[in-house]
Structure 1
Amino acid sequence: MTAADLNAGTRLTGALAGALVLSVLLVWFATGAFAAAAAFAGGLLVLVAAGFALVRLRGRGEPEGLAPPDWSVTVAAIERRGEAVAIVDRANRLVCANTAYSEWFGAGNAPPNLPLDRAGLEAMTRAAREAWRDGRASAECLRADGAAASWRAEAERAGRGDDYLIWRLTGITEEDFAEDIGARIAGPLGTLLSRGGIEAALVGADGLVRAAAPGFAERAIGDPEATLAGQDFATLLRADERERIFFAREGRRGNPQTLIHIPLGQQGDPRLPGADESGSLMLLIDSGVGIGAATEGAGPGATPQLESLLGALPLGLAMTDRDGRFLFANKPFRRAAAIEGAALPQFPSDLVVREDKAALVDAVRRFGKGPAAATDMALRLRGQPDEPVSLGIAGVRGLGEAAVLLSLVDSTEETRLKRQVAQATKMQAVGQLAGGVAHDFNNVLTAVIGTCDLMLLRHSPGDSDYDDIQQIRANSNRAAALTRQLLAFSRQQTLRPEVLQLPDVVSEVSQLLKRLLGEKIELRVNHDRDLGPVRADPQQLEQVIVNLAVNARDAMLAQGEGKGGSAGKLSIATRRVTARDVRHMGTEILPEGDYTALVVQDTGGGIPAEHLGKIFEPFFTTKDQGKGTGLGLSTVYGIVKQSGGFIFADNIPLPSGTATHGARFTVYFPVYQGAMPAPRARAAPEPAVQWAGGGRILLVEDEDMVRAVAERALVRAGYSVTTAADGEDGLSAIANGEPFDLVVSDVVMPGMDGPTMARAIRKLHPALPVLFMSGYAEEQLRRDIDMADMHFLPKPFSVQQISDKVGVVLGAQRGRSDT
């Protein structure tokens, strides 16, 4: 009620009260009797009170603004075809109902008291109580006495005061149970059962087939599209003398069948038709298909015996049931699947990566429920996601619960060998590339260094250009050092091996290492006794030790950044390794024999597992840009391999037991088995020989810049030089009869190379010496050329070096001719 309504009521009440007082005063004034006026006032008060009471009663019976309910409108609203609707009050009296309700139950019956059997009345009564309490309820399978029809009832509380229940009753359509079963087995359900080795057919009480699965039809008459309706079920099967059942069409060549007879009717259950009317469901199952089934003569111990047999075989074998669950796996299978020592997972799919799970699950279930067959699948195991393995899958029958046999070969060793071969092939290819790059780059550096030398002859130390030229020459020498590292990696550098003791080399380089490591890194050196001698280039071994020590220093300093005190410890040790020790290692990389090992170990953060296979590759580095070329370890690898040794890298836990690991490099050099040569003093370099009359030199070089620098250097030294751009031109100069004292030639040239030209020249002039210029190793050239009186000048060379080398060669030749 609003404020305006209150004000209006107050004014009306005031007006009535005023009129009442005025009427009483008028009666009193007209009669002059107080008793008459009082009686009149009392009568008016009674009339007013009766009016107020009547108004209040009418207001309570009907809310303001609402007309009395029109049930005809409600009946029109609930009129629905095929659904009975009734409305009752709290006394369960029928208030309203539609036509369907009146036809089904009669207008004189109100829910829940309907003409139903006892179970239906109890269900309706229970639903009514629940609906009044909870607001909604339902009852199922309501039947009248002796009637086959049934209903489903729903009750819902409604009304402004929740004073009514709305009942909705729908009829339940009865289906032909047997006909429904027949339609299902003739459709996808029958196909699914056939896939699992179960054939189904619906047979009537007269023994005739009413419906059959496609697989049953195919095995019975050879046509999966046939319905077989009306054919005698018994004629489709046959039994042998041992009463085993077969499909008549397959005969003895088929598998024995297990027949399961399922009557579809059941007496006493009104929801199922009678047994005489519905017929039976016939299931034919291949012997050994079901879980727990076994072939004839296979007792309960067949599976344990099979497991014992499979466990003794070297091939990795496992068995699963029809649902794909593991039953057994022998040790080779566990080892190949990288689960040796761990619990066997529930499914084979738990062994592979996520991308291969679905394919493996589908294959195992298909072979477990289908016919006996076999296949191979390429899968990736979780423990080895980068190496696919071949998993054999075979469906088996007659082995109890076992339905699928899995085979897996332990390819760990094969995978390791493949990786080693791939790594060796890759390193060989990169080495060839590095050697070719170094050779070409040496030609460029030869021209740069030679040009700088020629320019320095025209500039004195006080000249403004002198320092710039020296800077160019210094950087060129640095670049030449990089090419030497490339040649060391490609095992094409020149080595001068000696028979030596590793502790002596370590002692020579120890002082240098202390300066390189600094004060924050502690150096420890330890040597075994009775070490065997090795044959190697001492200078190259020093480079190996220095490179390994510098790498260890950088790793420990990076690990100890932000920490005070010592940054770590570097240990260098030499160890005696016997042939027995090599056998105990069990490695196929290191041939059996005696070795002297050099071990360089640090306390840094170790080498990440993903980098262990790449650290010896050229230009691979984990250092920040500008802090490493990536050639240090590749140079070490090349020097060790060229010296006939082996190098390994691994991580080791520190003795403190912390999670930090250190890196360890172990280099194995074969022990030298020959007699120890007597120590010899280093020979002094031979002085350059200059000839007063000079000499005639044939210079053969395909690079214009190198040829120009070498020509100017030799002319400046007093020689008469004839140049040729390739082997053909050089050979033509010799064939023309020009006398020469020496042939200076490059090795690699287009067309005719240097060695081919030299052999042709020797046929004309057998005593003519040849000086080869090359960026390749001298030992390799001597093995490839094998020519007498052949000399070698490595690139890049300076003006002074080529002049001195030519003088030495001519001097030696002149000395032999004089004697």
Structure 2
Amino acid sequence: MAGFIAMLVAAFIIDRRSGTRVEIAPMVLPDLELVGSALSASRDPVAMTDGEGALRAVNAAYRERFQDRSPAGLAEPMKDLLEAALCDGRAEGEAASAKVLVMRAGQKQDLFIWHFAMEAPTDTIEVAARRVSGAMGERLGKAGVLAVLVDGDGLLVAANGAFTDRALPDLGNRGAAPNIEELITHGDDGSIRLAAEGLDASPLRLVTVPLEQDGSGAATMLLFDSEQGSGLAASANVQVLLEMLPIGLALVDRDGRFLMMNRAFRIAAGIPGEEMPAYPGDLVVKEDKAAVADAVRRNARGPAMSGDFPVRLARQPGEPVALTVAGLRGLGDAAVLLLLKDNSEEAKLKRQIAQATKMQAVGQLAGGVAHDFNNILTAIIGHCDLMLMRHTPGDTDYDDVQQIKSNSNRAAGLTRQLLAFSRQQTLRPQILQLPDVISEVSHLLKRLLGETVQLVVKHGRDLGAVRADPGQLEQVIVNLAVNARDAMAGKGGGTLTIQTYSIKADQVADLGSEILPIADYSALSVADSGSGIPAAILGKVFEPFFTTKEVGKGTGLGLSTVYGIVKQSGGYIFADSKVGEGTRFTIYLPVHQVEEEPKNKRRKPNSGDSNNELWGTGTILLVEDEPMVRTVAERALTRHGYKVLTATNGEEALEIVERGDEIALLVSDVVMPLMDGPTMVREARKTRPKLPILFMSGYAEEQLRKSIDIANVAFLPKPFSVQELAEAVRRALTTK
């Protein structure tokens, strides 16, 4: 006990020297190791608790920040940190706006030390103060500009050397920070002077730049020496400063006329050359002229204020921009300051993000609808196949069943369009040349276009090979050609030009596109001489169900399908159009770098395959939550000689696997309630690592393989026929 008291006395002396006071709550006396850990904490908040999280000791910083609250109750992650420290001896994490370290301490290791490393918030005033008093302020001082930063109450926060030398010659004798009103005097004529230089000094011009958007709070003040004449044109410092700023600035006199403007303002307002309009209202559309003139008049003749409001420039009436109007005093003829920022690129980026977000959301919806619809079509097509097995051509019901199956296949094509738009369809990519694809589809195009449309095909040289699904690429060309034909119908026909050419990486860089990555591409352009697309709707042409055709003549899925196929193939598509001159769609597909041959090539069925070769033996475990799909698949596999065990979900399938029955193949859906297919397969392979797997899904194989990450699995897209199911099972059983 004597040693413990001596230690506390030493700790008290150390704490007095460091300026940190530690308050100890009522507690059970700990051992020497625990007390040493608590007293060695930094000035950050530190607390000591027992295993239940109850406080045993805190320092002053902790009490000031969190009062008497237990660390474990400050935020939900705190309990997890306490449990982790209980197991591992220490734990680190982030909570309560701090980085938290929890350590076990004490001879019995039953107490915990909590250390909070608080994150310092970004202080806008502090950043501005460093700039004003640093190198930037010195550069302004060399240009003859006095710079000073004041807070919301007008107290001096920072100043550059030029201001300090002239306005605060007795800075060393001052105590508290002075108010800017004490350092500046106002003459009867509205002139401004430094109080330290007296009334006989030259007047100054003052420009106030608020730090906050609404003009309240701290502000930076710039003071310029007045030169001979009261005209602003005589102040070279102001002109040089305005030209250096990246924000569009202009000065207006009390009559509302422009005095001067910098280059950034001319660019943002679209003013050509050195031309300068007379009034600010001349820059905006007719509807906004009155609002701009009223704002300028109120700030020029009333109390000095500032505010911003949206206006539409005459050069670009469809894009509102923010115009800031601020009143000026003591700057000669200038009475109003206008700020204008060219945010067209920012607005364009926002539109692109909004468009991409909308396309993604609709794509997810379309993919979900197509997935559920594929289950229905699988059942319909499967039952049709089963019925056709019991009928022969010539039977009364054979043609009806065949017609049902044909219509179901047409519906399956519609779901493929939805999946193409949502980029979730199953592609069969191949290494191919664009001229070969166009050659394959050119005969079909001539029949589709008719006699009034002339088809012109041009091919460039040195085209690189691309990797894409030839069937889907043909669909892209057909959709674009059909749209072009309809666009030229109103003009009595025209010319459709399909062109291929190579574009190298350096040419892509010269394009300056922010969307197209720099790489080698093989380009395909489809141009028509039709009526063109107005600029207002050009950005919507790839949206699903958007069409400019008459009711009943278009679904709005053509271009959205094109967009989905191109994006899923790793390419990019752009539309360019002028009303009355035609439209051009340009597709950029990356040049495929030829590597080693793919390890797993899909085996093409031999022309001599027969139904007898699809028969097999063995037990197949079929897992499918949709009863109609499960029934069709079970009957189809049974008719081909297999013994089929069925399960409605992953948990039921695992129970069958654990029974020890011999299973030759596991056929499972991917998306199921409770436990999905991949999770179930991982659990099953823990006991049967060589079990063959065949996944069925309405989603794209490429997308699933990226997310599933399970080796040695086969895939069967929905909807499928009975024969396709039998072929997929046969391949999965024979593939080693």
How high is the sequence identity, in percent, across the aligned residues? 63
Distance 1:606 1:802 in 2: 47
The alpha carbon displacement at 1:347 in A equals: 3.4
Distance 1:257 1:378 in 2: 37
After superposition, residues 627-706 of structure 1 pair within 5 angstroms as 627-652=553-578, 660-674=580-594, 684-685=604-605, 687=609, 694-706=617-629
Distance 1:740 1:675 in 2: 38
Q: 1:456 aligns with which of 388, 393, 396?
A: 388
Q: What residue number does 2:359 align with?
A: 427
CA deviation digits over 1:223-244, x for unaligned, max 9?
xxxxxxxxxxxxxxxxxxxxxx
The alpha carbon displacement at 1:681 in A equals: 12
Q: What residue number does 1:799 align with?
A: 722
Structure 1 residues 751 and 784, CA gap change in structure 2 (3 angstroms): same
Distance 1:716 1:388 in 2: 68
Q: Flag structure 1 segments of 5+ consecutive residues without an equivalent.
A: 1-249, 260-285, 561-566, 653-658
Q: TM-score, normalised by structure 1?
A: 0.59
CA deviation digits over 1:680-703, x for unaligned, max 9?
999641546758773211111111
* Aligned alpha-carbon RMSD (Å): 3.0
Structure 1 residues 717 and 317, CA gap change in structure 2 (3 angstroms): same
Q: Does 1:591 align with 2:522?
A: no
Assess if the C-alpha contact under 8 Å between 1:774 and 1:794 holds in 2.
Answer: yes
CA deviation digits over 1:383-422, x for unaligned, max 9?
5555443322221234443210101111122122222222
Structure 1 residues 760 and 533, CA gap change in structure 2 (3 angstroms): same
CA deviation digits over 1:660-681, x for unaligned, max 9?
2110011112223445979x99
Distance 2:405 2:680 in 1: 33
The alpha carbon displacement at 1:616 in A equals: 0.9
Assess if the C-alpha contact under 8 Å between 1:773 and 1:794 holds in 2.
Answer: yes
Q: What residue number does 1:97 align with?
A: none
Assess if the C-alpha contact under 8 Å between 2:232 and 2:333 holds in 1.
Answer: no
Q: Does 1:601 align with 2:532?
A: no
The alpha carbon displacement at 1:730 in A equals: 1.2
CA deviation digits over 1:739-792, x for unaligned, max 9?
221111110011100111111111121111111110111122222222233111
Q: What residue number does 2:654 align with?
A: 731
Distance 1:469 1:391 in 2: 69
The alpha carbon displacement at 1:529 in A equals: 1.6
Assess if the C-alpha contact under 8 Å between 2:231 and 2:332 holds in 1.
Answer: no
- 3-state SS of the aligned residue for 2:409? helix
Greater CA radius of gyration, 1 or 2?
Answer: 1
Structure 1 residues 753 and 385, CA gap change in structure 2 (3 angstroms): farther
CA deviation digits over 1:431-465, x for unaligned, max 9?
22221111111111111111222233334433343
Structure 1 residues 459 and 499, CA gap change in structure 2 (3 angstroms): closer
Distance 2:433 2:524 in 1: 11
Structure 1 residues 584 and 693, CA gap change in structure 2 (3 angstroms): closer
CA deviation digits over 1:229-271, x for unaligned, max 9?
xxxxxxxxxxxxxxxxxxxxx9995521149xxxxxxxxxxxx
Distance 2:500 2:335 in 1: 59
After superposition, residues 264-663 of structure 1 pair within 5 angstroms as 297-299=227-229, 302-303=232-233, 305=236, 306-307=238-239, 309-340=241-272, 344-352=276-284, 356-384=288-316, 387-560=319-492, 567-652=493-578, 660-663=580-583
- 3-state SS of the aligned residue for 1:445? helix
CA deviation digits over 1:465-488, x for unaligned, max 9?
333322222121111111111211
Distance 2:494 2:596 in 1: 38
Assess if the C-alpha contact under 8 Å between 2:418 and 2:561 holds in 1.
Answer: yes
Structure 1 residues 513 and 692, CA gap change in structure 2 (3 angstroms): closer
The alpha carbon displacement at 1:298 in A equals: 4.2
Structure 1 residues 723 and 295, CA gap change in structure 2 (3 angstroms): same
Structure 1 residues 256 and 491, CA gap change in structure 2 (3 angstroms): same
The alpha carbon displacement at 1:352 in A equals: 4.2
The alpha carbon displacement at 1:309 in A equals: 4.7
The alpha carbon displacement at 1:339 in A equals: 4.3
Q: TM-score, normalised by structure 2?
A: 0.66
Structure 1 residues 443 and 666, CA gap change in structure 2 (3 angstroms): same
Assess if the C-alpha contact under 8 Å between 1:303 and 1:400 holds in 2.
Answer: no
The alpha carbon displacement at 1:351 in A equals: 3.7
- 3-state SS of the aligned residue for 1:257? coil
Distance 1:602 1:463 in 2: 50
Distance 1:459 1:324 in 2: 91
Q: What residue number does 1:9 align with?
A: none
Q: What residue number does 2:188 align with?
A: 257
2:627 partner amino acid: D
Distance 2:615 2:276 in 1: 90
- 3-state SS of the aligned residue for 1:559? coil
Distance 1:457 1:484 in 2: 27
2:349 partner amino acid: L
Distance 1:342 1:698 in 2: 80
Assess if the C-alpha contact under 8 Å between 1:748 and 1:754 holds in 2.
Answer: yes
Q: What residue number does 1:220 align with?
A: none
The alpha carbon displacement at 1:307 in A equals: 4.7
2:583 partner amino acid: A
- 3-state SS of the aligned residue for 2:625? coil
- 3-state SS of the aligned residue for 1:625? coil
The alpha carbon displacement at 1:353 in A equals: 5.3
Assess if the C-alpha contact under 8 Å between 2:616 and 2:730 holds in 1.
Answer: no
Distance 1:251 1:798 in 2: 90
1:667 partner amino acid: I
2:523 partner amino acid: A
The alpha carbon displacement at 1:340 in A equals: 4.3
1:751 partner amino acid: L
Distance 1:466 1:674 in 2: 49
Assess if the C-alpha contact under 8 Å between 1:257 and 1:287 holds in 2.
Answer: no
Q: What residue number does 2:731 align with?
A: 808
Q: What residue number does 1:718 align with?
A: 641
Structure 1 residues 676 and 531, CA gap change in structure 2 (3 angstroms): farther
Q: What residue number does 1:212 align with?
A: none
Assess if the C-alpha contact under 8 Å between 1:689 and 1:807 holds in 2.
Answer: no
